[in-house]
Structure 1
């Protein structure tokens, strides 16, 4: 058992959440029980994830995509109202960390991608950022763009979409999980052979071709499964409480 406020304080300090200008509040979004015995983590605070938290008796739902995003309507009605009502009725806390969980050098989504792909000599994709959101890494050996697509698809469990460039081999790779396709320009500025993110836009096809940077869309959900799991495990070890992961394989 651990105190909710102690967990939030530890997470805020560990992830340096107050140093980020984000699109949604980081940390405690909906307050439930003061004591936490069990955590369920998920990529997104969907109704399925909430139902799983209720079914497993979790006191806290830890997610990467929570609520109260900039530009959202204020009224708590409809789908979002139902979700929030479910959490409040079952006294479950909702805790969300967005950019801080992308950025963290060991617990973050990008750190996990680097480990999974065995990328070395990790650098910032944007050296001007205090807490880099994207990164650069190097494959041990240069491989063909086609072989890299196969590697990504196998390691990340997602049929990676490849937007080709002219370069015949890939070794220097830029990457930023989720919906960061527009960072391909930063990958170009840093001389990357390829750039990985989760989503893809119509414009990305032309950018990859004209910037000569191979682009791989590997799934928003698929690239961001890992941060919440790493953070939940770290919380479990720090406070000696139980945690588990809920997977709802989103094909986007």
Structure 2
């Protein structure tokens, strides 16, 4: 068992949220009981995850996507009321870290996705250096865009959108998890031959074809389901508390 504030300090020390300009508050978003024995991690603080955490008898939840975002309606009605009601009724702490969780060089979403895809990080790029640049660990690399797309799909267990841009083997790959399609131009400027992220918007297909850089969209949730359990498990082991990752299906 650890104190809630001890757990908060451990997360803050690891992820350093003060370094980032983010879209919402990082850290303790909903205060629960002061003592924590078991923490559940997940991607998003959905009602389904909160209810699963209740069933797991969790004292705290750690997520990438919390409840509060810049510019949202501040009224506690509808889905917000339902989520908060369950958290407060069961006195569960909610910890959420957005960009700091993407950026951590070993345990973050980008680093964890790279480890699973067999990519070695060689640099960073883009706003707040959230984009990662690297190369395949296998010396031969990927034969073409289709081969890279098939590899990503197999690792993540879901279909991907693969837009060919670079015509030959892919040796310089950039990636940024989630809804980072806006980083594509920065990836191109950084010298990438292919870019992997969670989502694709209409302009990116044109950029890929016209700039000669391939674009792989592998799903927002699918690309970001590894950082939260990695961080939560690390901190739980450090503090001697229980951890359980709950991965809820999401087609997005």
Question: TM range, normalised to the smaller chain?
Answer: over 0.9
Give the drift of 1:158. Answer: 2.0
How far apart, CA to CA, are the structure 2 residues paired with 1:168 and 1:235?
A: 42
| Alignment match, 2:125 | 125
Map 1:53-72; keep pairs closer than 5 Å. 53-72=53-72
SS for the counterpart of 1:170 is coil
Map 1:97-136; keep pairs closer than 5 Å. 97-126=97-126, 129=128, 132-136=129-133
Map 1:83-102; keep pairs closer than 5 Å. 83-102=83-102
SS for the counterpart of 2:232 is helix
Give the drift of 1:167. Answer: 2.1
| Alignment match, 2:218 | 218
| Alignment match, 2:183 | 183
| Alignment match, 1:34 | 34
Map 1:162-177; keep pairs closer than 5 Å. 162-177=162-177
How far apart, CA to CA, are the structure 1 residues paired with 2:96 and 2:148?
A: 32
Tell me the matched-pair count: 249
Q: Which runs of 5+ in 2 are unaligned?
A: none
| Alignment match, 2:249 | 249
Q: Is the 8 A contact 1:167 1:193 kept in 2?
A: no
How far apart, CA to CA, are the structure 1 residues paired with 2:52 and 2:166?
A: 46
Alpha-carbon deviations, 1:196-234, whole Å to 9, x = none? 000111111111111211000011000000010101111
Give the drift of 1:159. Answer: 1.0
SS for the counterpart of 2:69 is coil
What is the root-mean-square deviation in Å for CA atoms of aligned residues? 1.1
SS for the counterpart of 1:141 is coil
Q: Which runs of 5+ in 1 are unaligned?
A: none
How far apart, CA to CA, are the structure 2 residues paired with 1:137 and 1:23?
A: 27
Q: Is the 8 A contact 1:160 1:216 kept in 2?
A: yes
Displacement over 4 Å in runs of 4+: none
SS for the counterpart of 2:71 is coil
| Alignment match, 2:81 | 81
| Alignment match, 2:153 | 153
